[in-house]
Structure 1
């Protein structure tokens, strides 16, 4: 990488190796813990450095701002997310997707982390962009089960895979962030079933 191109790279966007990778892993873990415990408003790079047991200058030099750190955290979470389930049945695949979302949102650490990041995204453009990238990766990962269902003849030709996957998770996020209704397996299974019924009816045909 030339010096000119290095100057144009945003903090936290270069994927390091060796010791630098280990430092990044420690810092991102510490950042996730801090977000889950205190939320975005109280996220502090110095505190993250202390938790990760690395020098403050290392954290400030690499990530520069809390939003840069959150952006890198979300990118890492997208990369580390579990691959999609392949059952050969659209209903079972979408139920697996709904239950994966459920397990994430109800996890004490992950649920709190996502609430903090979503709150931050409403008032910070860079965090919003990182959050959009995270969900784009996850939707792309799971859209294949819809494409395969179309190929098997379970769904009408022209069904939009991304919209079907969004329809599964949207009710669960609504419960988490808005209504406060119970987040449980029954809710997850209903969300998946509703998405299957709507998709078979042609609701998501482009």
Structure 2
């Protein structure tokens, strides 16, 4: 065996390949950063041939986008606790736990620092957070059905309000980020939503409280 060759076992097709390749992508991102990420290294780490990767993902940035979206979808599941406050608390704490982990820090670095100016990374951000907004819509829908929120509460505005103070600390101020941060974000978000400040605006009109 040549020096530097992977000893990872070959994996099968389908879902196992996708899982192995996505895990390898995140591992490469964590170890080497976005600039050094390559299809060849991902394939070697995943135990598949690079042509297998190219059949499922057209290029490196497509691979990264899908891996990020899948990781966040799994790492930040949509809660269903029976109450909007505990749903939002679970969601906010999951955000904190995910993005303060080593892998989460690598994801943030890829999406918001060195490679942030690249169109592919901007597309990855939109894909990842668009997916998160779509998934959290059910949390708001259930809360409206239970009478906990006004009927025209905008799920996207609610999630942005919840996530904003967490990302502010992670990306701008570098203040500590912990469960207390998450819980405060929930209190502010619920106060705004119950005051009617997060309602959907009619087409062509700005949202107002």
Per the TM superposition, whether the score is higher than 0.5 is: yes
In the alignment, is residue 48 of structure 1 matched against residue 42 of structure 2? yes
User: If the length of structure 1 is used for normalisation, what is the TM-score?
Assistant: 0.80
Q: Supply the distance in 1 between the matched residues of 2:14 and 2:82 (Cα, whole angstroms).
A: 41
Name the stretch that deviates more: 108-117 or 22-31.
108-117
Question: For residues 95 and 51 of structure 1, do their structure 2 counterparts lie closer, same or farther at Cα, with a shift above 3 Å needed?
Answer: same
Partner of 2:9: none
Q: For each residue in 1:142-168, what CA deviation from the matched residue of structure 2 results, as whole angstroms up to 9, or x when unmatched?
A: 222222323333223311122111211
Question: For residues 20 and 92 of structure 1, do their structure 2 counterparts lie closer, same or farther at Cα, with a shift above 3 Å needed?
Answer: closer
Q: Supply the distance in 1 between the matched residues of 2:68 and 2:106 (Cα, whole angstroms).
A: 14
Name the stretch that deviates more: 179-188 or 125-134.
125-134
Partner of 2:28: 34
In the alignment, is residue 197 of structure 1 matched against residue 198 of structure 2? no
Q: Matched residue pairs, number?
A: 189
Question: For residues 92 and 31 of structure 1, do their structure 2 counterparts lie closer, same or farther at Cα, with a shift above 3 Å needed?
Answer: same
**Superposition map of 1:2-151 within 5 A:** 19-77=13-71, 80-119=74-113, 122-151=116-145
Richer in helix (by share):
1
CA contact (8 A) 2:192 2:198 kept: yes
Q: Supply the distance in 1 between the matched residues of 2:166 and 2:96 (Cα, whole angstroms).
A: 7
Q: Which runs of 5+ in 1 are unaligned?
A: 1-17
Partner of 1:15: none
User: If the length of structure 2 is used for normalisation, what is the TM-score?
Assistant: 0.79
Question: For residues 100 and 78 of structure 1, do their structure 2 counterparts lie closer, same or farther at Cα, with a shift above 3 Å needed?
Answer: closer
Q: Supply the distance in 1 between the matched residues of 2:123 and 2:110 (Cα, whole angstroms).
A: 15
| Greater RCO, 1 or 2 (C-alpha within 8 Å, sep 6+) | 1
Q: For each residue in 1:64-122, what CA deviation from the matched residue of structure 2 results, as whole angstroms up to 9, or x when unmatched?
A: 43212112213433553554222232221111110011111112223322332344663
Q: Supply the distance in 1 between the matched residues of 2:14 and 2:145 (Cα, whole angstroms).
A: 44
Q: Supply the distance in 2 between the matched residues of 1:117 and 1:127 (Cα, whole angstroms).
A: 6
Structure 1 residue 184: Cα displacement: 0.5
Q: Supply the distance in 2 between the matched residues of 1:141 and 1:86 (Cα, whole angstroms).
A: 12
Structure 1 residue 130: Cα displacement: 3.2
Question: For residues 175 and 93 of structure 1, do their structure 2 counterparts lie closer, same or farther at Cα, with a shift above 3 Å needed?
Answer: same
